A and B are shown apart, each in its own frame.
Chain A
Amino acid sequence: NAGVTQTPKFQVLKTGQSMTLQCAQDMNHNSMYWYRQDPGMGLRLIYYSASEGTTDKGEVPNGYNVSRLNKREFSLRLESAAPSQTSVYFCASSERAIYGYTFGSGTRLTVV
């Protein structure tokens, strides 16, 4: 009963490096989301995918790209990491947002 699985759990990057955060869900949910959580700022939506084949920007999309690879997988890519992208990143999924989300365990990213 995995739910939402995120990898990696921890990552340290140097400024300018790139990386992809992976997310997979096994609940047959249509919608998937990427949020970042910073102290005092709460959870902020980066990108979301309402269904397979669609993606849309959220509140803080700059510096990120996403891919909805199939119904199960939704990845987040940092093309050129910056210290301002140091954060905890959460992936979530839902059948519909009206029912709430299930969150993954998070990725703690540090950019130095």
Chain B
Amino acid sequence: QKEVEQNSGPLSVPEGAIASLNCTYSDRGSQSFFWYRQYSGKSPELIMFIYSNGDKEDGRFTAQLNKASQYVSLLIRDSQPSDSATYLCAVNSDEKLTFGTGTRLTIIP
């Protein structure tokens, strides 16, 4: 059973601070890694993907990948109230995505 683990939270972060979300995965053959944002009652929306070890930055978001430790993280800088959502980590292997259960993030004004 390929597994993706996330801390379910809730994670509360003051507005303007950095939010740090973490994810571990079990399948060493995984090829690509994703972060989806899901607002309550809505569908998941892709916000970041990463394929190679290291950091990938897109605006206020940075994804970090460490394949040796089987660890993926998402940093959100200058957190805004609109960032309050559940963040799903997903890992691709065998042409399918396996999702973690998500971390609920609340940004406190």
Q: Which of A32-67 contact B (CB under 8 A)?
A: 33, 35, 40-45, 48, 50, 58
Check B43–A50 contact: CB distance below 8 A. no
Q: How far is the CB of A6 from chain B (nearest CB, A)?
A: 9
In the bound complex, how far is the Cα of B79 from the Cα of A3, in angstroms?
29
In the bound complex, how far is the Cα of B95 from the Cα of A99, in angstroms?
10
Check A42–B49 contact: CB distance below 8 A. no
Pick the contact of B97 from A41, A100, A105, A106 — CB < 8 Å? A100
The 6 closest A-B pairs by CB, nearest first: A42-B101, A43-B99, A103-B43, A97-B95, A98-B32, A97-B92
Chain A residues near B74: list those with CB within 8 A. none
Ordered by A's residue number, 13 sampled pairs between the chains whose C-beta atoms are within 8 Å are A33-B97, A40-B101, A41-B101, A42-B102, A50-B95, A90-B44, A97-B92, A98-B51, A99-B49, A100-B49, A100-B97, A101-B46, A105-B42
Given contacts A31-B95, A97-B95, 7 further A-B contacts (CB under 8 A): A41-B101, A42-B100, A43-B99, A97-B92, A98-B31, A100-B92, A102-B46
Dominant SS among interface residues on chain B: strand
Check B101–A103 contact: CB distance below 8 A. no
Binding site for A on B (CB under 8 A): 8, 31-32, 34, 42-46, 49, 51, 88, 90, 92, 95-102
Dominant SS among interface residues on chain A: mixed
A-B contact count (CB 8 A): 55
Interface: A14 (CB within 8 A) = no
Q: How far is the CB of B29 from chain A (nearest CB, A)?
A: 12
Check A101–B43 contact: CB distance below 8 A. no
* 1/0 contact string of A69-100 vs chain B (CB within 8 Å): 00000000000000000000010000011111
- Smallest Cβ-Cβ distance to A108: which chain B residue: B41
Check B96–A48 contact: CB distance below 8 A. yes
Chain B residues near A90: list those with CB within 8 A. 43-44
A96, A97, A103, A106: most-surrounded residue (chain B CB, <10 A): A97
